[in-house]
Amino acid sequence: MILFNPKKHERYYPDEESREIMQKTIAFFENKGLHSLKKDDQERIWYREFLDFMAKEEILYKLLTPSKYSDGKTRWDMWRIQQFNEIIGFYGLPYWYTWQVTILGLGPIWMSENEEAKAKAASLLKTGSIFAFGLSERDHGADVYSTSMTLSPQADGTYLANGSKYYIGNANEADMVSTFGKIKGTDEYVFFIANYKHNSYNLVKNTVNSQNYVGEYILEDYPITDADILARGPQAWDNALNTVNVGKYNLGWASIGMATHAFYEALNHASKRNLYGMFVTDFPHVKRMFIDSYARLVAMKLYAGRTADYMRSASLDDRRYLLFDPIMKMKVTTQGEEVINLLWDIIAAKGFEKDTFFEMAARDIRALPKLEGTVHVNIALIIKFLQNYLFNPAEYPEIPQRSDAADDEFLFRQGPTRGLAKIQFHDYNNAFSLYNLPNLKIFKEQIVTFKEMLIKASASKEQMKDIDVMLTIGEMFTLVPYAQLLLENAKIYKLDEIILDQIFDFIVRDFSKFALELHNKPSSTEKQMEYCRKLMRKPNVDNERYNAVWTKYVYALNGEYEMNY
């Protein structure tokens, strides 16, 4: 079973408690049922019921408290955090979002040297509190350098906080709102804690029309003491970015969960619908779209799992996760959109029906690429790694699958955020030589030509400054580490090679599509255009493989899962 199926949850856990958390969460949603899930969504009901369930089971406490701040029975273990992400994403963005912003809110706390704040956070988690992360501001968006939230030092050594934050999840109920700003009159960054219950914390509104509370709050002469300060100066800045590194990873899983649920729903519907005397699943284009969605979903999942292995094994000497993580954010979430687009073309009008999970997924899957830095911000980040990744590999010990019950405390001491372009990677060719498959071979040839283009027809100084051009080059480059990690995980999971070659079928097509995009940029040179033409390749045609994937893996999922109503 590659795709998650709540009714056949067989994932390995190193302890019984982790399995219980997942099973109870699945049971919570299946007992609630689709009808109630949709009603709450349509009436925009705050998910008190879910928060109460998590509080009763101490889920946030158990999953999000590093062991040294608890009774020792909790841990921040990304093996199980992955799974929890996928499960709640499977039942909808709202449930996932309140958990996600709690993770973001906790980031600056666990990263801080303020032990009192950490002890407070742990005890709040124990009683089921949620947390919030106040980074974004209405006027500054992605430009967090320009924050206008300030702390003004007072004569008695305290501070007064003034300013507003916008698009802040859980801002309505978080006892600890990690808030980012500057010391007034300086360029010194600061992270401090505010509490939504304080009189000087003015909750203005929910900025969205949703079950989620994505709030605007204003602090007006809000009193702050040193006990509320989490970090100052470069440390505060690094903690903001390092928190986003932790949170970004989860976005991909929300996308996988939602798209998987939508996939089952679409397949169940299409396979039963008979038009002109044939089932919709018998139309050749429908078959193609299902196979493509399935291959994309499996690829997303393989990539996501392998990225966690690198994150869990990271250290100050191994920061490869800093490339794999933004790819998880930008690539996996946009692939989720792609899967929904394909499925929606199949189920057409059904995708609008109010009783479907699909209707919710189609709307909400769009959010994920836009949170925690847009796709563009993340590609701009990814590009920094291109040179070393493609041309300057280094030796690293092999990273095994990390399903052990470790506490991933390195995530809270990631260190300075500088020096990304200096990070080296193990040779991607190792993964590419694990298999000998026709479409993989074509993709390998595309990579060789791509590298040749980067050397012999490199981007001019003007093109390098043109982010539009660089985004397309970034998309092309991204496919290489994306393929590398999914290949590594395919080996670990002993994935059937027919699925793997089907995955490389879409990778070859996607790479060709980006090559065409680059070819057609206004600034592309003759030489670059010539290379782009060489980069546009047709995948290998193998009807036997294609039909076998359909029968053995895709159509076989028909009727395998339907949410309790």
Ligand X SMILES: Cc1cc2nc3c(=O)[nH]c(=O)nc-3n(C[C@H](O)[C@H](O)[C@H](O)COP(=O)(O)OP(=O)(O)OC[C@H]3O[C@@H](n4cnc5c(N)ncnc54)[C@H](O)[C@@H]3O)c2cc1C
Query: Of the ranges 135-143, 488-496, 498-506, 555-563, which one interacts with ligand X (CB under 6 A)?
Result: 135-143
- The region of 161-169, 183-191, 197-205, 507-515 touching ligand X under the rule CB under 6 A is 161-169
Which residue in 41, 86, 173, 372 binds ligand X (CB under 6 A)?
Answer: 372
Q: Return the number of the residue (107 or 169) whose C-beta is nearest ligand X.
A: 169
* Piece in contact with ligand X (CB under 6 A), picked from 66-74, 127-135, 275-283, 346-354: 127-135
434 binds ligand X (CB under 6 A): no
**Which of 224, 252, 261, 253 has its CA nearest to residue 37?**
261
Closest CB 58 distance from ligand X, rounded Å:
23
Q: What region does 213 belong to: left with phi over 0, alpha with psi -120 to 50, or beta?
A: beta
Question: Which is nearer to ligand X, 28 or 131 (by Cβ)?
Answer: 131
Q: Which is nearer to ligand X, 367 or 485 (CB)?
A: 367
Nearest distance, CB of residue 246 and ligand X, angstroms: 13
Applying CB under 6 A, which of residues 183, 203, 377, 399 lies at the interface with ligand X? Answer: 377
Interface with ligand X in residues 101-120 (CB under 6 A): 101
To ligand X, the closest distance from the beta carbon of 131 in angstroms equals: 10
Q: Are 58 and 10 in contact (CB under 8 A)?
A: no
How far is Cα 109 from Cα 115, in angstroms, rounded to an integer? 9
Residue 203 touching ligand X (CB under 6 A): no
Q: Give the span between the Cα atoms of 82 and 250, in whole angstroms.
A: 7
214, 332, 470, 480: residue in contact with ligand X (rule CB under 6 A): 214
| Integer Cα distance of 290 and 271 in angstroms | 11
Question: Which part of the chain contacts ligand X (CB under 6 A), choosing from 166-174, 355-363, 407-415, 488-496?
Answer: 166-174
**Single-letter residue type at 220:** E
Q: Which helix (H) or strand (E) holds 489?
A: helix 467-492
Six token digits for residue 464: 């390098």
Give me 415's structure tokens: 């260190």
Q: Does 420 bind ligand X (CB under 6 A)?
A: no
What gap in Å lies between CA 491 and CA 404, rounded to an integer? 19
Stretch that binds ligand X, among 224-232, 273-281, 363-371, 425-433 (CB under 6 A): 363-371
Which helix H or strand E contains 377, and what residues bound it?
A: helix 375-383
Measured from the CB atom, the residue of 359 and 372 that comes closer to ligand X is: 372
Residue identified by tokens 């099973």 is 23
Q: 21 or 161: whose CB is closer to ligand X?
A: 161
373 lies in the site for ligand X, by CB under 6 A: yes
Q: Could you say whether residue 9 binds ligand X (CB under 6 A)?
A: no
* Gap between the terminal Cα atoms of the chain: 24
Q: Which is nearer to ligand X, 333 or 502 (CB)?
A: 333
Stretch near ligand X under the rule CB under 6 A, chosen from 194-202, 350-358, 367-375, 419-427: 367-375
Q: What does 127-171 look like in DSSP terms, one character per residue?
A: TT--EEEE---TTTTT-GGG---EEEE-TTS-EEEEEEEEEEETT
Q: Is residue 136 within the footprint of ligand X (CB under 6 A)?
A: yes
Does position 241 interact with ligand X (CB under 6 A)? The reply is: no
Contact range with ligand X by CB under 6 A, out of 47-55, 132-140, 222-230, 426-434 = 132-140
133 is a contact residue toward ligand X (CB under 6 A): yes
- Quote the least distance from Cβ 471 to ligand X, whole Å: 8
Residues 45, 37: Cα–Cα separation, whole Å: 10
546 CA to centre of own chain: 29
The count of residues interacting with ligand X (CB under 6 A) is 22
Closest approach, Cβ 141 to ligand X, in A, equals: 2
State how beta strands 131-134 and 176-183 pair: parallel
- 471, β-bridge pairs: none
Stretch that binds ligand X, among 130-138, 348-356, 402-410, 509-517 (CB under 6 A): 130-138
Cα–Cα distance for residue pair 268/52, rounded to 1 Å:
33
CB atoms within 10 A of CB 425: 21
Q: Identify residue 25 by its one-letter amino acid code.
A: T
Give the single-character DSSP code of 68.
G
Name which of 146 and 551 has its Cβ closer to ligand X. 146
Q: Which of 88, 121, 135, 328 binds ligand X (CB under 6 A)?
A: 135
CA angle centred on 412, ends 407 and 417, rounded to 5°: 140
Q: What is the torsional sign of CA 112, 118, 122, 127?
A: negative
Is residue 334 within the footprint of ligand X (CB under 6 A)? no
Largest CA distance in the chain: 83
**Binding-site member from 160, 380, 399, 548 for ligand X (CB under 6 A):** 380
| Interface residue with ligand X, options 200, 374, 449, 540 (CB under 6 A) | 374
Residue list 459-488, contact with ligand X (CB under 6 A): 467
DSSP output for 198-214: STTEEEEEESSSSSS-E
Separation between Cα atoms, residue 499 and residue 550, nearest integer Å: 10
Q: How far is the CB of 126 from ligand X (least distance, A)?
A: 23
Which residue is at the shortest CB distance from ligand X? 141
Under the rule (CB under 6 A), what is the footprint of ligand X?
Answer: 101, 133-136, 141-142, 167-169, 208, 214, 367, 370-374, 376-377, 380, 467
